[in-house]
Structure formats: C-alpha cells, structure tokens
Amino acid sequence: MVTVAAAPLPSKRRPGDGSASPAPGQRPRQPKRTKRERNMGEGSTDEVLRYDIQSLLSSSSSLPDSSLANDLPEPFSEIQVDIVDVSSTGDGLGLRSPDERHVYVVPFTVPGDKANIRVIRHFPHDHHSVADLVAVATPSPLRDDSRIRCRYFARCGGCQFQMLDYAQQLRLKRRVLVKAYRNFANLPTDLVPDVAETIPSPLQYGYRTKLTPHFDGPPSSASRRQPKRRDQPGPSFEACPDIGFMLKGRRSVLDIEDCPIATDVVRRGMTRERERMRRDFSQYRRGATILLRESTRRCPNDGPDTAPTNDPDTDTYAVHVQGDGFVDVKTCETDSKATSTEYVGDHIFTNPAGSFFQNNNAILPVFTSYIRDRILPLPPPVSSSDLQQYYLIDAYSGSGLFTITLASLFAHSTGIDVAADSIASARRNAALNGLAPDRCRFIAADAAHLFREVDYPPDRTVVVLDPPRKGCDADFLAQLARFAPRRVLYVSCNVHTQARDVGSLVRGHPGGAAYRLKSLVGFDFFPQTGHVEGVAILDRHDGDDKDHLDGDGSKKDGVDSNGDDQQKPT
C-alpha cells in the first residue's frame, strides 16, 4: 500500500456540503450554490471539471440521482474508491462502485488505482465530491512511484503526474486538447481535425526558469475585529516562516526546500533565499513572494566574463553551461525590477525579471521553429522568393517573442500589447536582435483597437494570437473576422478558452470572414503537470457555402475522435 502524508483537515463548517438531514416529513433542502459555482466562468477549472464528470456519468445508462445526496458519506470520513478516469484538471475521478452516480475527485491518482480517500466536501448539484488521497491501496499498472523525484509530491499542488511514464503524460495532454474542442468549440466534429501527438519537452525535470515561492504573514495575537492604530507596528515572526507553495486543496503554505522541476541555478537561488530568510525573518511584518528568475550571460570561451567575479554569492551560486564556442553563465535574479536575459536559439531577449516570459526555455527553440515552419499560408517547400511578401500582426506580443523570431519571414511586422512596459522591452529586444523599425514596430494599445493601427493587405497578412488564460474577448474576435487575415495562428496556455475562440472564428461573424481549422497540436511546456500549451492554425475560408455549419452556426450532435458523446453539462 502506498501511503500519503495527509494534509491538515479544513474546518468542518462548510456551506453546501449536503450533510444536513431533513426533519421527518420535510423535503430535503437543496444546498445553496456557492460563490464559486455562481461565478463559474467559461473555460474555468470548475467548468472543465463539470464537463469531465458529466461525461463519465453519461457513459452509463443510469442518470445521476439528486436524491443520493443524503446517502453520501459524512465529510472527513474515509472510504475507498476505484479511479476510472483523469480529469483535464489533472485530478483522478473515482467511483465507490461501477453503478454509483456520484464522482469523487481525488488528486495524485491515475486510472486503475484503488485509493483510500478522505472526503472533504460534497457538491450535490454537480454530482461530485472533492477528497484527499490517504493511500493507494492497489496501484494502477500506469503507476510507478519510483519515478517520483520530489519528496513533496502528493502534498504540493504544483505537479500531478510524477508517477507516470512521460509518454503516458503526453497521451493524457493530447486528450485534454481533444476534450477541450469537443466541449468548448461548439463545432461539428468533422470541422475539428485530429489532434496531433503532443510535442515533448527536451527536459522533463530541471526546466522551469522561474519560481515564486512565498510565505504568509505572522499570526496576529490581537483580534481581527480590533482596529489597529497607524503607528502600531504589526506582529513579527518568532521563527522563520514556512516558505514554499500551496498545500494541495488548502489555503496554507507547504514549506519546500527544493523543487526538482526548476533549473539548477533557480534551485541554488532557492537555497540562497531560504538561508537569507533564516537570518532576516525578524525584519518582516507581513507575507511576501520571493522571485527566483534565471538570467543568462553568454560569453566567448575563455572570455573575461567567465572568470570569477569575487562576489561570493555570484561565484557560489552561478551555473556555467558550455555551448558551441561560448559559455552561458547563469545566475538567479531576485529583484523584480532588475533585467533578466534569455536566449532562444540565436535570439536574445531582455525583460524585467518580474515580468512574464515563457518559463521553459528548453522547449522554446522547438516551439518557435514549429511556428516558423507553419506561419506562412504557402505549401512547402517555401522558396526564398516567397519570403517577405507577407505581413505579420502579433497580438498580445509581450516582449516580442513571436515578432522577433518570425520577422525575417515577413516584409513588415507589428507587435501590440496593452502593457507599455512590455512594449518598451520589445523595442529594446528588436534593437538587440538587429531589427530596424522599417522591419518591425511595436504599439502599446488594447488588442481590441489593433486593426485601427495597421494598413496591411488582409490577403497577405498573418495574425498570431497569444492571449492570457481568459482568451480573446468577443469584440476583438469580431474585429479580427472583419479584417479577415489570410491565416491565424493561435497559441494558448488555456486550451479551453482557445477552443471557445477558435469555434467563434470558424462559425464566422456578420460582415466578416469565417475560418477553417487546419491543425491542432499541444506542446508540453510543463512536464509532470496536467497543463498543455495549444497551437491552432486557421486559414480563411473563401468559399461561398457554409455547409459545414448548421443554418444558425450551431454545433451538430456527433461523436469525437475518442468515441465520446458530446454533451453540455447541466
């Protein structure tokens, strides 16, 4: 039996846990819907889980029975379940018996596990309960706990899949994409191409170039209801606080000394910052987040920059990586306003250390090469005479990753981002990479107003989208459809909102173009976790007919490539 260190129990006084029994002669009272349920957003983790639960329950001839709410186990009791599926959230889905119509969501489990769990909270409306894993009574053939490299696994909420073979992780992530387009694209299945095999990360551990461990503030000895005077100092720490990441399913910090998915220099930086906190904890009066960001200085072999600096911190914690004719000297930056430097192939990018940049540098050359090879709407092979006859719009451009790595293929490129600081970084990066303003420019503006700023011919324009997790808003998608670029390449860290937006483009907008979804693939930016980065390529549909859609553009009933019925959650 594989045992798991149990997390501290939350309070038993939870709203909506379905544990109250009705008085004799009274109908069972339906629990109130929680704020979480009322605010469930499209493409949110909660909605994704709801789809997966309904799909699991609909695979049986029996339907969920809300009257079963009163037969559920008491909160904080222990039961045994069989794990029969994995949600796109990365958590296992278990049943007490094959004919039960209630699902238990259990982290750190895989299909085939027989798991002892502690029930934490019921959601009767959604036919599921959340639980903690207590022990794996009988391991699945998919599970091999000797693969686990982190002693905090099954407590820290960061990783879900360390017990799985990497090839199995990639298969699960492909399935996440398949389900995302089935559930959120609202398209007939024949308009969604087969999802390609997930492209692996060159590194499965030691890949994260940024970590942000944190600690909570000191406990207050005074009542929270008692107002604090302005001149009254806050409570201080009596000992060094726990520093790390969130305990899975709890609002408390798990003390973590090391994280094996981080790069070597970030792990060294974590050790250094923990040592500093042990010395300086008494200076803090509140919680804080610690930035750990890898920065690279590329130096010629035997150059003066590779020699010791006489700075004990730098010399002790720096990592030297030998390249082809150069040495990369890697350090860990902790000042969010300092400049960090990264190389993607031969391209150099500088950013404020606290700003966003992709956290898996190892996969970026593979990722950007894939996009370069497919960005032009031309059949291969592409000749040199074909290059620089098209224009690029990079929406949500950040510090210029796509604009800069793709610029040599286009006559002119425009990057746009709402954050002025990101645009300033992008302009510096363009200059560092030898790109003059007559080849590319960057504009600080809301993406919704992008098409007012460009006069590219739509027939020769490609648009790259890389929005935040919430995806694109409806106004932007309508503007994009009216502009009607020849090709759209959509990159997303949330494949569910990506599927929603892609479906909107394929169905079309009044007065605008409709698109055909050409290809779908996932990239594994975050091995050992349930996350997958999606890349969708769409070409403008220039035909007059729209027989591929119902008259109102709505989804037809169908079966996806995995043979699962399509259903909306109720």
Helix (H, G, I), strand (E, B) or coil at 344: strand
Closest CA to 173 of 520, 530, 521, 563: 530
Active site amino acids: 493
Crossing angle (nearest 10°) for helices 166-184 and 45-58: 90
Contact 256, 213 (CB under 8 A): yes
Backbone angles phi, psi at 435, to 5 degrees: -100, 115
From the centroid of its chain, how far is CA 361? 16
| DSSP string over 27-88 | PPPPPPPPHHHHTPPTT-HHHHHHHHHHHHHHTSSSPP-GGGGGGSPPTT-EEEEEEEEE-T
Report the alpha-carbon distance of residue 486 to residue 464 in Å, rounded: 11
Gap between the Cα atoms of 437 and 329, Å rounded: 31
What are phi and psi for residue 446, nearest 5 degrees?
-70, 135
Sign of the C-alpha dihedral, residues 124, 125, 127, 131? negative
Q: What are phi and psi of 172, to 5 degrees?
A: -65, -35
User: Do residues 498 and 532 touch, judged by C-beta distance below 8 A?
Assistant: no
Q: Which residues pair with 333 in a beta bridge?
A: 293
The type of residue at 309 is T
Is 530:162 a contact under the CB 8 Å cutoff? no
391 is in an annotated binding site: no
Tell me whether residue 466 is annotated as binding: yes
Token reading at 417: 């981002």
- Coil, helix or strand for 96? coil
**SS in 3 state form for 257-268?**
CCCCCECHHHHH
- Which residues participate in the annotated binding site for S-adenosyl-L-methionine? 358, 396, 417, 466
- Which residues participate in the annotated binding site? 358, 396, 417, 466
